[in-house]
Structure 1
Amino acid sequence: MKNIKLMSLLGITLVSSAVLAACGSNTEGSKSGSTTQELNLIETAEIPTMDSVLNTDTVGSTVMNNVMEGLYRLNLKNEPELAMASEEPTISEDGLTYTFKIREDANWSNGDPVTANDFVFSWRRLVDPDTGSQSAYMMEGVVENAAEINKGEMETDQLGVKAIDDKTLEVRLVSKVPYIKDLLSLSMFLPQNEEYVTEKGSKYASNSDNALYNGPFVLTKWDGTGLSWSYEKNDTYWDADTVKLDDINVDVVKETSTAINLYDAGEIDSIKLSGEYVQTKQGDPDLKSEPTSSVFYFKYNQERNGQPTPLANENIRKAISMAFDKEAYAKTVLQNGSLPANGLVPSGLAKGPSTEQEFREENGDLLVYDKEAAQEYMKKGLAELGVDSIKLELLSDDSENAKKSSEYMQGQLMQNLPGLDISIRSVPFNVRIDVNSRQDYDIQMAGWGADFSDPINFLELFETSNSNNKASISIPEYDALLEKVGTTDLNDPEKRWNDMLEAEKILLDQAAIGPIYQRYNAILEKPYVQNIGKHLVGPEYSYKWASIKSN
């Protein structure tokens, strides 16, 4: 039940940059002599799509979060609050049927009212196998018949969602879901206007003029390539009085030195720093450090073009997972406060139901840097494969920081593992999404940020049946545990917790992935920027409450 939001390498998905400029930051408390409510930002990756049921990445998730709205949205405290739903739902005695009332004053940007059928239509599109949504599994195990429909065993009208009337939505769940409100704030659960989508056909969501919006802003000036776009305040939004910003301008900038120059020149209001550039801003009052729930790891593709890869060998995977110095990588390449990761589930995400001990702390370090052990695993793996050496390709984004990261890993792996030859393939972010979906790679540095505060949000990524798997990972005992976590364990929180702990141990014991780091963000932000919502889970940013402090 996790959004397939592929992350730009190093997790730099919004306002990223670096520092080579000699000039200092503008630290004035407001834009001099200005009362203009306009924010200027940068991204390091394009928007792959604005169709909410097809969204696969963090950039798209952030954009949709600001121009669209589901039944709930995350507030500044990172809590789900009522959005398109006018009140908390009525819940049946068995806890499986939720009845929502849609706001009477909720409208689309073309003036049409937002109706219960908008949710029915969108959710059916999501699970329809003809749509081909990689996010369809988010509804599986949550909404009645979603899994069966996505497998082609039922028709879409059998989905457990119904419009009782224009403003009353009924949702039937498969089982109790502790984090249902968090789910309903995510992009794949957004509504869509059936008449508009049908009328537009293949043009729907192809650019900003061919989409409708029901959120705080409308998207403008996006031509479908994603190199630049703007947000404008949506006057038809039900809570428009809360929205202070009139405009947000976004440009894609992949060169970090260019980005920091723009910030220092006062042309950009908030950016992320990375690498050695963070050190040049130490002591700058604009510099902040922010934790995230994002964990990055090597994703090993075990089957490519219908044939097993060397990564189908467990010893080869263990060798690679233990052959690079994570601590040195975090300190010398990232330099933004990020921490080495020795497990999949991040620190700070969730605590046990009885002990209140954090998941990461309780499960400890599961796959650590150990060069000698890595070399032994490599020898075993090569012997089992009957070869003296192997060649593998490392898939990388084409941003400056991504290239530095890949080059570091290439050097570490080839230096520490005799018999391993690593080449680098650098591509634009949207191309990497396509390459991942076609499973046409050997290794990629993938990342995942939580949509809700539960370990299952990470663990479910690598179930055999998960459409996000895209690496031919299949561990029967792991699948069996996660099946219990989502069904019989729901009435026993302690057992559910323990089964998730065990599942992570199994995944890492087989080195199905190779954990690298948990991301922290180093942020430069002008003091006049107020109340950007920065979320540990779900979409990264909300601008609904943001403003520019005037003189």
Structure 2
Amino acid sequence: MKQIRWGLLLVLGLLLIVLTACGGQSEESDESGESADNSSETAEGGEQILHLLNAEIIPSMDSSMATDSYAFQFLGATMEGLYRLDEDANPVEGIATEHEVSEDGLTWTFTLREDAAWSNGEPVTANDFVYAWRRAVDPNTGSEYGPYMMNGVVKNAEAINNGEMDVEKLGVEADGEYTLIVELENPTPYFESLTTFPTFYPQHQAFVEEQADNYAIASENLLFNGPFTLEKWTSTSNSWELVKNENYWDKETVQLDELTFEVVKDPQTSVRLYEEGTVDRADLSSDLVDQYSTHEDYEVVPETFVFYLKFNQMNSEDLANENVRAAISRSFNKQALVDEILNDGSLVANGIVPQDFVTTPDGEDFREANGDLVTYDPETAKEYWEKGLSELGKDTVELELLSSDSEESKVMGEYLANQLETNLPGLSIKLKRVPFEQRKDLDAKMDYDIQISSWGPDYLDPYTFLNLFVTEGGNNKMGYSNTEYDQLMEDVATTYATDKNKRYETFLEAEKILFEDAAIAPIYQSSTPQLVSDKLQGVYVNPFGATYEYKWGSVVENE
């Protein structure tokens, strides 16, 4: 949008399909989703207030347990780590003012500011980081992202999470109240950007332990150290508010006084609320794009999310067959999907690392360097299919396709099922559509056959995508295993950690293996079409972590 500085064009957007699920309306809404009259209050009294929508409830506000973009968005607005991303996705001062790195790249010493405070007025100290990081890798906590983000990065994290070492052995310690020392397993080129991610946020130990099982289930069970506080929220809320945090160390920079949010799932309702002036931003579904593409407030935000089919090799004898997976991967027309079904600026994906995300050492886009690894090819798909059926000794196969229950997902699921059944004779697809939280639970339990899934980056490095598929990885959840692939991922994290050329050569090789094995089937790289009020200024989109950054945002009434 004209007044929004998008940072990088490599942006992490709201999940339009997989991460959108049903939610009831708040007490302030009628059954159609219309909000009470709360039009933007910027002219009267100079109040800085935004009214926005969210596609889903917030699943968790515990930074150790959060796993999705909705949680990361509101953690990012209310919390702050050692560093924070600026408008160009560069780490800038957060709770840390500076850091030093040892010559071998293994010891990072952070100097913390002494004027940072929690929302209860108590100081933010180095121990708050020590406690939070330990809690995230402690197996008793049951965090997904703690091990995923810290294993192989922070010293002893993996051994601790495996129950082989005491949590106090984690490579993080406080040297007094305002010095944090972190020891790494291996040199990690992207570690500074990792410190901006919610998993690495601090937690107030005494408060968390006092709250016990009630921690992070409602606003009163939370403390904040970021630009805003979260008010009027519970774990089942369909509406809530962000309010300027008067205890935030940089509160003078924060211009927005309040941001209200309401869960509205139906795109038609969202657009109606936008046109009425009730809300200041609305995402568009594919059927609305043609109608609003010439609107003066229309924008298409490119993203780095990649959507793909996960094949559960553990749950299905049929999907354990490589030829069956290879056939399915090539049997649906992705170009028609993005042009006719999505119609939102999304791009066909023929690999897992997205376009316009990272470049190789010689400056070539990673996606261009590795090319198209799996494309729509119905004739080749049939050849693989016949081989697979022969190996299985079957004439027919029935598989279940799991997705969310959003409108876009329903249409896409029906399209994919039709394509697969048409191009692969003898295949029957049963559609299973569930709310977001249920889909997450089924994925964690590996209770599905094929799943429409997605991934957006957690940091600016190919490892954030390719590390998903290591054997028994926390986000694998499909039984895929290849020892050669695992070794390549180990090499980029250890042997080649400081050799950029070898790291990228290894990344390119690993991605090829992933598709030689037909481990997954890429579908598309997403974009978000929106209507955004020109009142918004200084709001930009991050390439990972919190989707929107509101710290530097403001509302300006145009004449």
The answer to whether structure 1 residue 500 and structure 2 residue 511 are counterparts is no
Q: Distance in 2 between matches of 1:32 and 1:372?
A: 62
Q: Which residue of 1 aligns with 2:262?
A: 251
Q: Distance in 2 between matches of 1:6 and 1:199?
A: 34
The answer to whether structure 1 residue 238 and structure 2 residue 249 are counterparts is yes
Q: Which residue of 2 aligns with 1:214?
A: 225
Q: Which residue of 1 aligns with 2:137?
A: 127
Check conservation: 2:40, 2:277, Cα contact below 8 A.
no
Q: Distance in 2 between matches of 1:214 and 1:431?
A: 31
Q: Which residue of 1 aligns with 2:356?
A: 348
Q: Which residue of 1 aligns with 2:326?
A: 318
Q: 1:11 to 1:432 in 2, by over 3 A?
A: closer
Give the counterpart of 1:405 among 393, 412, 421: 412
| TM-superposed deviation, 1:93 | 2.6
Q: Distance in 2 between matches of 1:378 and 1:48?
A: 39
Q: Distance in 2 between matches of 1:6 and 1:256?
A: 14
Check conservation: 1:8, 1:429, Cα contact below 8 A.
no
The answer to whether structure 1 residue 393 and structure 2 residue 404 are counterparts is no
Q: 1:30 to 1:359 in 2, by over 3 A?
A: farther
Q: Which residue of 2 aligns with 1:21?
A: none
Q: Distance in 1 between matches of 2:519 and 2:130?
A: 37
Q: Which residue of 1 aligns with 2:534?
A: 527
Check conservation: 1:7, 1:57, Cα contact below 8 A.
no
2:395 is matched by which residue type in structure 1?
D
Write out per-residue CA displacement over residues 514-536 of structure 1, whole angstroms, 9 at most, x where no aligned residue. 00001122121011111212012
Q: Which runs of 5+ in 2 are unaligned?
A: 1-12, 22-38
Q: Which residue of 2 aligns with 1:18?
A: none
Q: Which residue of 2 aligns with 1:62?
A: 73
| TM-superposed deviation, 1:188 | 0.6
Q: Distance in 1 between matches of 2:478 and 2:505?
A: 26
| TM-superposed deviation, 1:263 | 1.0
Q: Distance in 1 between matches of 2:464 and 2:105?
A: 21
Write out per-residue CA displacement over residues 52-104 of structure 1, whole angstroms, 9 at most, x where no aligned residue. 11111111111100011100111111111110102x21222322111112211
Q: Distance in 2 between matches of 1:187 and 1:226?
A: 21
Q: Which residue of 1 aligns with 2:124?
A: 114
Give the counterpart of 2:457 among 447, 450, 459: 450
Q: Which residue of 1 aligns with 2:25?
A: none
1:87-98 mapped onto 2 (5 Å cutoff): 88-98=98-108
Check conservation: 2:282, 2:530, Cα contact below 8 A.
yes
1:476-491 mapped onto 2 (5 Å cutoff): 476-491=483-498
Give the counterpart of 1:515 among 511, 519, 522: 522
2:74 is matched by which residue type in structure 1?
V
Give the counterpart of 1:74 among 85, 94, 102: 85
The answer to whether structure 1 residue 381 and structure 2 residue 401 are counterparts is no
Q: Distance in 1 between matches of 2:428 and 2:199?
A: 40
Check conservation: 1:11, 1:294, Cα contact below 8 A.
no
Q: Which runs of 5+ in 1 are unaligned?
A: 14-27
Indicate the SS of the match to 2:224.
Answer: coil
1:297 is matched by which residue type in structure 2?
Y
| TM-superposed deviation, 1:550 | 2.8
| TM-superposed deviation, 1:12 | 6.1
Q: Distance in 2 between matches of 1:12 and 1:494?
A: 39
Q: Which residue of 2 aligns with 1:542?
A: 549
Write out per-residue CA displacement over residues 89-138 of structure 1, whole angstroms, 9 at most, x where no aligned residue. 12223221111122111111111111111111110011111111111221
| TM-superposed deviation, 1:537 | 2.7
Check conservation: 1:100, 1:170, Cα contact below 8 A.
yes
Check conservation: 2:16, 2:408, Cα contact below 8 A.
no
Q: Distance in 2 between matches of 1:76 and 1:54?
A: 27
Q: Distance in 2 between matches of 1:500 and 1:113?
A: 42
1:72 is matched by which residue type in structure 2?
Y
The answer to whether structure 1 residue 333 and structure 2 residue 341 are counterparts is yes
Indicate the SS of the match to 1:93.
Answer: coil
2:123 is matched by which residue type in structure 1?
P
Check conservation: 1:337, 1:520, Cα contact below 8 A.
yes
How many pairs are equivalent?
Answer: 528
| TM-superposed deviation, 1:6 | 11
Give the counterpart of 1:423 among 422, 426, 430: 430
Indicate the SS of the match to 2:336.
Answer: helix
Q: Which residue of 1 aligns with 2:173?
A: 162
Q: Percent identity?
A: 46
Q: Distance in 1 between matches of 2:240 and 2:411?
A: 28
Indicate the SS of the match to 1:89.
Answer: strand
1:179 is matched by which residue type in structure 2?
Y
Indicate the SS of the match to 1:451.
Answer: coil
| TM-superposed deviation, 1:310 | 1.6
| TM-superposed deviation, 1:7 | 4.9
Q: Distance in 2 between matches of 1:10 and 1:328?
A: 19
The answer to whether structure 1 residue 143 and structure 2 residue 150 are counterparts is no
Q: Distance in 1 between matches of 2:441 and 2:491?
A: 32
Q: 1:428 to 1:213 in 2, by over 3 A?
A: same
Q: Distance in 2 between matches of 1:504 and 1:94?
A: 29
The answer to whether structure 1 residue 99 and structure 2 residue 106 are counterparts is no
Check conservation: 1:322, 1:374, Cα contact below 8 A.
yes
TM-score (norm 2): 0.92
TM-score (norm 1): 0.93
Indicate the SS of the match to 2:513.
Answer: helix
2:260 is matched by which residue type in structure 1?
N
